[in-house]
Structure 1
Amino acid sequence: MRLILNVIWLIFGGLWLALGYVLAALICFVLIITIPFGFAALRIALYALWPFGRTIVDKPGVRPGALVGNIIWLIVAGVWLAIGHILTAVAMAITIVGIPLALANLKLIPVSLMPLGKEIVPLDSGRDAAQTAFGVTR
């Protein structure tokens, strides 16, 4: 099922969203001082291409640099990328088949606003990390 959703996602919006992240990454690479933002944008671009079966988790530890970087990212690119996700989610939610795709778009909004200090992992790893964090064992 994930494969089918990923293929539909790629055709009906994932490619365009990923290209938006790649454009943001290229701009960040050109400005040199924002190279870390460029790498974060490329990570999200790969996630935007194939989102089903993966999830976003916080990297462990306190990251004060990530907080400052996220604030800068939010002002420069995050708001525009989040607006793109919202518009795409609304367009996808028009049909019943598009509702899971719209939900995936909404899932991408937090990481598009604050990408630093986040990690994209396979879905099973995310569950394991969440269970470990809350003390739940299998």
Structure 2
Amino acid sequence: MSCLGNIIWIIFGGFFNALAWFVIGCLWSITIVGIPIGIQCFKMARLQFAPFGKEVVTTNDSSVNLFFNILWIIFGGIELCIANLISAFFLCITIVGIPFAMQSLKLAKLSLMPFGKEVV
């Protein structure tokens, strides 16, 4: 089921969203200061490309990650999370869209606070 879900996800926009995250991550990684943000963008791209069968787990709850997560929320994380929540809401309208809504909720969770999280 996860393979079929990922194929449908890629066809209906997952590929372009993942490509956008990858390009943004490359742009952030040009500078040394932006490398941690670029790594988080690559993490988002990997999950955006094929979210079915993957899980977001917390690997590190340090104070440095908390600080970076607060900065991430201030400078765009809340907007990304709200966009994924709105997408999940509209996908839940139909029964067929519920599995895709669950993936949008997973993306919302990661887009709100990506530092210290890992996609497995």
**TM-score normalised by the chain length of structure 1:** 0.75
Quote the residue 1:129 is aligned against.
Answer: none
Structure 1 runs of 4+ aligned residues shifted over 6 Å read none
**Within 1, Cα distance between the matches of 2:21 and 2:96?**
25
Change (3 A) 1:22 1:87: farther
Where structure 1 has 5 or more consecutive residues not aligned to the other structure, the ranges are 122-138
**Contact 1:89–1:103 (8 Å) recurs in 2:** yes
Change (3 A) 1:27 1:74: farther
Quote the residue 2:35 is aligned against.
Answer: 35
CA deviations over 1:10-55 (Å, ceiling 9, x no partner)? 1223224324433542442245412101111101211111111110
**Within 2, Cα distance between the matches of 1:100 and 1:81?**
20
Quote the residue 1:117 is aligned against.
Answer: 116
Where structure 2 has 5 or more consecutive residues not aligned to the other structure, the ranges are none
Quote the residue 2:69 is aligned against.
Answer: 70
**Within 2, Cα distance between the matches of 1:90 and 1:26?**
31
**Contact 1:69–1:116 (8 Å) recurs in 2:** yes
CA RMSD for the aligned pairs?
2.0
Aligned-partner SS, 1:54: coil
Change (3 A) 1:39 1:63: same
Aligned-partner SS, 1:57: strand
Matched AA of 2:66: L
Deviation at 1:69, TM superposition (A): 0.7
Q: Percent identity among equivalent residues?
A: 39
Larger-Rg structure: 1
**Contact 1:17–1:84 (8 Å) recurs in 2:** no
**Within 2, Cα distance between the matches of 1:48 and 1:63?**
25
Q: How does 1:73-112 map to 2 (within 5 A)?
A: 73-112=72-111
**TM-score normalised by the chain length of structure 2:** 0.85
Change (3 A) 1:111 1:80: same
CA deviations over 1:69-118 (Å, ceiling 9, x no partner)? 11111111212221321232233223321111011101221210110101
